[in-house]
């Protein structure tokens, strides 16, 4: 294998195939694969789902639709079981990292996670990441571990992301209902057609299904991280990967890698509001590489503080043209919208920046 550092995401269906506590059924072969990778000097970060599934039988719940507190309690008790399940298959120590989207979008915490991961790897420890389900409210959640794994791959500067579930890869049609469905071995570009095919391949049991896997692949390949969707129930898949073959669907990494900050803005930061631009501002932002000034703003929605991410919208077409970090809160912006830069200080009584969104803090969509 040509990899140096890989992130492996393991779905709940592999941890708890019967949805009733943890099982070693598939994990054993996956752990063996990880050990083989480590022997070949490949660093491995594991992103493991399954805490809710592992704790499900230990928390009383009446209805099949679980309440949030029930799920959080399941995650809390199941997380330990899931970690213990992994640890028994390794001779080296495993470590636990529970993180939320709220942690990833905070620059300081992001850096702490990055430093912890590299220290763990340097000490031959296997980091196992999961979302901190107990504390994650909707606002703080990544929501699915496919996207979390992609964010971890970006943060740890991995060269590959392996998404393991109980599906072989992406098919052109639903393989459960079409005998002539064919698996796509290689995807060079993630287009709407790929998302449409992913819909056809969906597995109703998984948290995110195929769509979140494609989203994760999209995030990763744009950062130059090759991504595979593989069937983790089939141990031959691992032998093939170790032999340099591709037994699933491979998404080719983009060669023109965007810089890390722009990726952080695009994928990690959540947007807190929208700024509507007049046609002049749309033109200079879109085609002239300019920053956004207050004069081009016609309207604002949402509540945000200086430093939050917002979306820039073409007020005529209503299309999102860019995302960026806003230098002003929504309150201050409401007072200076449409005004000239020279008027900012007179209106607000202070003057933090000429630009509302600086070009360096902006990513085009």
Residues of this chain that bind ligand GLU (CB under 6 A): 11-12, 49-53, 75, 130-131, 133, 144-145, 207-208
Residue 24 Cβ vs ligand GLU, minimum distance, rounded to whole Å? 17
Q: Which is nearer to ligand GLU, 14 or 325 (CB)?
A: 14
Residue 86 Cβ vs ligand GLU, minimum distance, rounded to whole Å? 12
Q: Which is nearer to ligand GLU, 10 or 356 (CB)?
A: 10
DSSP state letter for 243: T
DSSP state letter for 196: H
Q: Which is nearer to ligand GLU, 166 or 278 (CB)?
A: 166
User: CA–CA separation, 43 vs 7, rounded Å?
Assistant: 9
Residue 332 Cβ vs ligand GLU, minimum distance, rounded to whole Å? 38
Q: Within 10 A of 37 (CB to CB), how many other CB atoms are there? A: 21
Q: By C-alpha distance, which of 48, 54, 47, 95 is closest to 78?
A: 54
Q: By C-alpha distance, which of 249, 245, 36, 235 is closest to 161?
A: 249
Q: Which is nearer to ligand GLU, 55 or 324 (CB)?
A: 55
Residue labelled with tokens 């995302």: 323
Cα angle: 364, vertex 146, 34; to 5 degrees: 125
Q: Which is nearer to ligand GLU, 16 or 249 (CB)?
A: 16
| Sign for the pseudo-dihedral over CA of 144, 149, 151, 152 | positive
Residue labelled with tokens 């947007």: 271
Cα radius of gyration (the chain): 23
Residue 68 Cβ vs ligand GLU, minimum distance, rounded to whole Å? 13
User: CA–CA separation, 182 vs 184, rounded Å?
Assistant: 6
Q: Which is nearer to ligand GLU, 11 or 248 (CB)?
A: 11
* Burial of 204 (C-beta count, 10 Å sphere; 0-12/13-18/19+): exposed
Residue 116 Cβ vs ligand GLU, minimum distance, rounded to whole Å? 19
The Cα-based distances of 59 to 15, 133, 143, 207, 264 in angstroms read: 18, 15, 21, 19, 37
Residue 230 Cβ vs ligand GLU, minimum distance, rounded to whole Å? 16
Q: Which is nearer to ligand GLU, 12 or 327 (CB)?
A: 12
- DSSP string spanning 302-333? E---TT-EEEEEETTT--EEEEEE-SS-HHHH
**Closest residue to ligand GLU using C-beta atoms:** 49
Residue 51 Cβ vs ligand GLU, minimum distance, rounded to whole Å? 3
Residue 57 Cβ vs ligand GLU, minimum distance, rounded to whole Å? 14
User: CA–CA separation, 117 vs 258, rounded Å?
Assistant: 23
Q: Which is nearer to ligand GLU, 51 or 315 (CB)?
A: 51
Residue 119 Cβ vs ligand GLU, minimum distance, rounded to whole Å? 24
Q: Which is nearer to ligand GLU, 208 or 294 (CB)?
A: 208
């Amino acid at each position: 294998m040509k990899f140096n550092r890989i992130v492996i995401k393991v779905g709940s269906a592999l941890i708890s195939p019967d949805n009733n506590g943890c099982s070693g059924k598939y994990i054993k072969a996956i752990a063996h694969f990880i050990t083989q990778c480590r022997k070949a000097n490949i660093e491995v970060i594991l992103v493991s789902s399954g805490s809710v599934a592992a704790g499900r039988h230990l928390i009383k719940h009446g209805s099949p639709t679980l309440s949030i507190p029930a799920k959080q309690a399941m995650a809390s008790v199941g997380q330990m079981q899931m970690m213990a399940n992994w640890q028994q298959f390794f001779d080296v120590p495993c470590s636990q990292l529970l993180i939320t989207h709220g942690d990833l979008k905070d620059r300081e915490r992001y850096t702490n996670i990055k430093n912890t991961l590299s220290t763990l790897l340097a000490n031959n420890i296997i980091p196992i990441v999961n979302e901190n389900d107990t504390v994650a409210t909707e606002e703080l959640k990544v929501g699915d571990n496919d996207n979390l794994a992609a964010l971890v791959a970006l943060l740890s500067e991995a060269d590959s992301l392996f998404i393991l579930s109980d599906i072989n890869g992406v098919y052109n049609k639903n393989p459960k209902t079409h005998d002539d469905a064919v698996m796509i071995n290689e995807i060079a570009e993630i287009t709407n057609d790929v998302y449409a095919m992913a819909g056809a391949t969906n597995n109703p049991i998984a948290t995110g299904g195929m769509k979140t896997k494609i989203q994760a692949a999209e995030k990763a390949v744009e950062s130059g991280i090759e991504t595979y969707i593989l069937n983790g129930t089939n141990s031959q898949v691992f032998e093939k990967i170790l032999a340099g073959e591709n037994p699933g669907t491979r998404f080719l990494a983009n060669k023109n890698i965007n810089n890390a900050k722009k990726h952080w803005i695009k994928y990690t930061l959540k947007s807190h509001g929208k700024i509507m631009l007049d046609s002049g501002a749309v033109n200079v932002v879109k085609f002239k590489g300019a920053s956004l000034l207050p004069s081009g703003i016609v309207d604002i929605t949402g509540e945000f503080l200086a430093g939050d991410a917002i979306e820039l919208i073409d007020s005529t077409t209503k299309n999102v043209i860019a995302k960026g970090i806003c230098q002003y809160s929504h309150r201050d912006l409401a007072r200076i919208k449409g005004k000239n830069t020279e008027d900012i200080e007179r209106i607000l009584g202070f003057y933090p920046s000429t630009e509302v969104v600086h070009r360096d803090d902006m990513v085009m969509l």
